Structure 1
């Protein structure tokens, strides 16, 4: 499929620095929960600046949705997206990605790395197949927690938060390290879905392997 122009239908503020973009859905466009595409904003000088973003809408929806953390401290693609409004035009390509659902397990996300898991968990919830899936979600502060109410609704007590730069009685404080994983995971013989900054992902994958997780059960963007 060649690059396709899609119009922004709506922009919503999700957190202080995350926006949700609702876009037109091209006829026949197909993707699976967890996949992404290359996206660019069609403004002078930005047309060829493509970046990967994950679909957070369900494949059966009549529109596309991306939930994007916008960095406004420098003039990059997400800063331009932060200025985007309904009617602006973006360009997307084919769907791609290796993060797909492989069965009930534990999702481990760092910050905006949770985005590939949004459509997966929404899809499971819609099918009443959420089961005992868990989400362990690391953020710097409380205000950084993306879709907190929705995840609480979908997962209940299987939504586990850890905050790295702020103390709160509600959630764990610190980082996801070996001790934390040992204390919060009883079974390492199950699928693990990991996404976040490169260093975060590498650390989590290495720690899971050291705790007995099978390398073939680790799902991440390769």
Structure 2
């Protein structure tokens, strides 16, 4: 992974999904190395906002192979207090170019897609599950999926018509819509709880669960699933948020280390206990490593370590195979010796 892991993409379409949610369509310009993704994976966007580049992770909401070469979609809720989502909704126009990383993430469909599945979506957390549903529906194979979407009001339900059409086909996807504050003819009143799950999907504890939504929503669903006899190994969730209590580093070395950037030849001084990301960003060389979560979750700051030893305590943003290949997450890697990284 020499140089920037990002490529240029151009916005070529914007579609409104609800009163505060839009889908943005992008096309990658250079397909020399391809631009593939699996249903459920996410990309990191790099946006030039003022004098700073801001990075945020968004799930690809379309199905693999459903768009043209190098094309993908993200579906974003407008949060006025959110710098990036506000810019996307209020300022992004067709023709504007951004930077995008390759797709990554292990919140994907299980290999045995013939097994009964339970999709649980909270709000805009529906996006990875929608990508999966679209992918399975496009394949034309029967999939036993109970798809429950929870929102505040019926107006907040996303992709209702499309999911209803899927449910009317013989594909096996059965949608259910719930709103916590009101109801309508097409949307029942209800909050996520074991009683609702028992009524809606009687065999819910025997299914493989894929859940995405706010952290508290996913925590409640996991607790309900496990406490009612569901196997923890069959519960899968996705989140880009910083963990509430990230594990503390236990640093084995308290000496100053040098981090060399192999591409530029710059040497960066890393004080004891500092991460490689913090040290590089604090250096006078002006080098910035793309990053988003700063907690070892998203994988945006992934780099290859060529030499040296680090103490890396991540939260799922890197695979064992990548670690074996020499990759590290610079946001949660503290040098234990002098280190050379490929950047």
TM score, norm. by length of structure 1: 0.93
2-side partners of 1:108 and 1:46: how far apart?
A: 36
Paired position in structure 2 for 1:30: 36
2-side partners of 1:193 and 1:111: how far apart?
A: 14
Paired position in structure 2 for 1:173: 189
1:220, CA displacement in angstroms?
A: 1.1
CA displacement 1:154-190 (0-9 Å, x = unmatched): 1248110110112334432131111111212222222
* Structure 1 pair 75–210 and aligned structure 2 pair: CA distance change class (3 A): closer
Q: Which piece of structure 1 moves more, 59-68 or 143-152? A: 59-68
Q: Is residue 146–residue 201 contact of structure 2 (8 Å, CA) maintained in 1? A: no
Q: Is residue 154–residue 187 contact of structure 2 (8 Å, CA) maintained in 1? A: no
- Structure 2 residue 219 is the aligned partner of structure 1 residue 202: yes
Selected match of 1:145 from 148, 153, 157: 157
Q: Is residue 16–residue 22 contact of structure 2 (8 Å, CA) maintained in 1? A: yes
Larger radius of gyration, structure 1 or 2? 2
Q: Secondary structure at the match of 2:148?
A: strand
Q: Secondary structure at the match of 2:137?
A: helix
Q: Which runs of 4+ in 1 moved over 3 A?
A: none
1:101-120 map, 5 Å: 101-102=109-110, 103=113, 104-120=116-132
Selected match of 1:91 from 78, 84, 99: 99
Selected match of 1:54 from 51, 59, 72: 59
Paired position in structure 2 for 1:42: 48
Q: Is residue 35–residue 55 contact of structure 1 (8 Å, CA) maintained in 2? A: yes
2-side partners of 1:138 and 1:151: how far apart?
A: 14
Paired position in structure 1 for 2:201: 185
1:130, CA displacement in angstroms?
A: 4.4
* Structure 1 pair 44–166 and aligned structure 2 pair: CA distance change class (3 A): same
Higher relative contact order (CA 8 A, sep 6+): 1
- Structure 2 residue 24 is the aligned partner of structure 1 residue 17: no
Paired position in structure 1 for 2:338: none
2-side partners of 1:85 and 1:149: how far apart?
A: 26
Number of equivalences:
220
Paired position in structure 1 for 2:167: 155
Q: Secondary structure at the match of 2:150?
A: strand
Paired position in structure 2 for 1:213: 230
Q: Is residue 100–residue 219 contact of structure 1 (8 Å, CA) maintained in 2? A: no
Any gaps of 5 or more consecutive residues in structure 2? 239-315, 317-343
CA displacement 1:108-160 (0-9 Å, x = unmatched): 00000000011111110111124221110001111111111001111248110
* Structure 1 pair 142–8 and aligned structure 2 pair: CA distance change class (3 A): same
Q: Is residue 41–residue 81 contact of structure 1 (8 Å, CA) maintained in 2? A: no
Q: Is residue 192–residue 218 contact of structure 1 (8 Å, CA) maintained in 2? A: yes
Selected match of 2:88 from 75, 81, 87: 81
- CA RMSD across the alignment: 1.7
